[in-house]
């Protein structure tokens, strides 16, 4: 179990760094952490809803900008509602302007 917790915490740490009003992808987090597939990141984020810490999982979408994790939120529209509250426009469960709003964790390395 410690490996699972460690894996989850690494995914959660990066997810918490996604700037408000921006989005990243499961694959970008997996790439940055070198932890394996995008599906594993999604699996970890699906479990964050039971965490005591607030993880902004709504800012993580699939590579096409689709809100593929929306069904794991308390309601199917909550992910979209949270994104829109941050100024992210969503059309048909997909982030509009994905290219402009995409944030890759590598940007952290450029700042440091």
Fold of 2-111: Arc Repressor Mutant, subunit A (1.10.10)
Has residue 6 got a pLDDT over 60? yes
Q: What is the pLDDT of residues 41-79, one digit of tens each?
A: 999 999 887 777 889 999 999 999 999 999 999 999 999
Distance from C-alpha of 110 to C-alpha of 99, rounded to nearest angstrom = 19
**What's the burial of 107, exposed, middle or buried (CB within 10 Å: 0-12/13-18/19+)?**
middle
Q: pTM here?
A: 0.90
Q: In the chain, where are the structural domains located?
A: 2-111
Kindly provide the residue ranges of all beta strands, DSSP E only, lying in the chain, ordered along the sequence: 24-25, 60-61, 90-91, 94-95
């Amino acid at each position: 179990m410690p490996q699972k917790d460690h894996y989850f915490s690494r995914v959660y740490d990066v997810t918490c760094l996604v700037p408000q009003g921006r989005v990243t992808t499961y694959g970008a987090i997996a790439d940055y952490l070198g932890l394996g597939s995008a599906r594993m990141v999604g699996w970890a984020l699906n479990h964050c809803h039971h965490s005591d810490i607030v993880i902004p999982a709504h800012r993580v979408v699939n590579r096409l900008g689709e809100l593929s994790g929306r069904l794991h939120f308390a309601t199917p529209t909550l992910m979209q509602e949270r994104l829109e509250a941050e100024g992210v426009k969503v059309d048909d469960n997909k982030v509009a302007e994905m290219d402009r709003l995409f944030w890759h964790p590598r940007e952290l390395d450029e700042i440091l």
